[in-house]
Amino acid sequence: MDKRKMKINFTLIAAIIGFMIAVQFQTVKKPEDRDTRDIWQLREALLKEKELQSNLLNEIRSNEEKLSAYKSKREQSKEKALRDTLNELKTDAGLTEVTGPGITLMIEPVMENIQLGETTKNVVSPELLKRLLNELNMYEAKFVSIDGQRVINTTVIRDINTETKIDGHTIKELPIEVKVVVNDHSTAEKLYNRMKVSKARDEFFTENLRLDVNAPNPEITVPAYQNPIRIRYMEPVKEGSGS
């Protein structure tokens, strides 16, 4: 009985040992998966990762530069639009010198009357100048100067102590040059043809003055308005004001 028991125990021990050997053999035969690459392969993989990272950073930087350039261009576009608008307003207000197609007119005394001994006026009256300006504006004159003085919307032509003044500038003697700038050469041609048969010429001749109209010129220069422009009935809007 003892021998049989010992035999069973031996068999169980042998089975256990055999099972352990089998498990160990299986573990050695099928090891867990692990990175078997050598040091150079690992370095190459690391370099590829760094290169990919560098490319991504460069792409991000490029996109940021493009975005910054777009914002800058948009701001510059706004500034340019404001500058263009400001320059346009200055031109319309008469604060800049203007060169363009137009004509010149000369106001001078009638020489035939002087030779006959008649007395002639040395200056032109404000009324004649105003009527001339009205007629020029009716024929699409855009920019006008009289005796070197720019005429704008607020210009005042009047008689002060028997002297004709344009915004304080005294017209002392004849001849007087009137410069007119229009939009284009075609308009300059029309203005020239109309002024050649204008009633203003008859009105000037009645006052012993001659109004000569010169042929259109592609480059007539009208000077800028020199006097300070006084703005009335306007106030700057306060920041945050609802009105």
Question: In angstroms, rounded to a whole number, what is the distance separating the alpha carbons of residues 68 and 73?
Answer: 8
pLDDT score, position 123: 78
Using pLDDT thresholds of 50, 70 and 90, give the confidence band for residue 54: confident
For the chain, give the percent of residues with pLDDT over 90: 41
Chain centroid to CA 128: how far?
Answer: 40
Judged against a pLDDT cut of 70, whether residue 194 lies above it is answered with yes
Q: What is the mean pLDDT of the chain?
A: 81
Question: In angstroms, rounded to a whole number, what is the distance separating the alpha carbons of residues 92 and 65?
Answer: 40
More confident residue, 240 or 102: 102
Quick one: which of 184, 179, 171, 187 has its CA closest to 214?
179
More confident residue, 70 or 15: 70
Task: Answer yes or no: are the C-beta atoms of 114 and 174 closer than 8 Å.
Answer: no
Highest mean pLDDT among 53-57, 88-92, 179-183: 179-183
Tens of pLDDT, residue by residue over 122-177, are 679 999 999 999 999 999 999 999 999 999 988 999 999 889 999 989 998 899 99
Tens of pLDDT, residue by residue over 163-189, are 999 998 999 889 999 999 999 999 999
Using pLDDT thresholds of 50, 70 and 90, give the confidence band for residue 63: confident
> Angle 126-138/199-206 helices, nearest 10 degrees?
170
Question: In angstroms, rounded to a whole number, what is the distance separating the alpha carbons of residues 217 and 100?
Answer: 8
Q: Write the CA distances from 27 to 13, 21, 32, integer angstroms.
A: 21, 10, 8
Question: In angstroms, rounded to a whole number, what is the distance separating the alpha carbons of residues 214 and 105?
Answer: 6
Task: Answer yes or no: are the C-beta atoms of 188 and 103 closer than 8 Å.
Answer: yes
Average pLDDT over residues 30-50: 69
Q: Write the CA distances from 169 to 10, 146, 165, 172, 231, integer angstroms.
A: 137, 10, 5, 9, 20
Judged against a pLDDT cut of 70, whether residue 62 lies above it is answered with yes
Rounded to 5°, the CA angle 190-195-196 comes to 100
The answer to whether the predicted template modeling score (pTM) of the entire model surpasses 0.75 is no
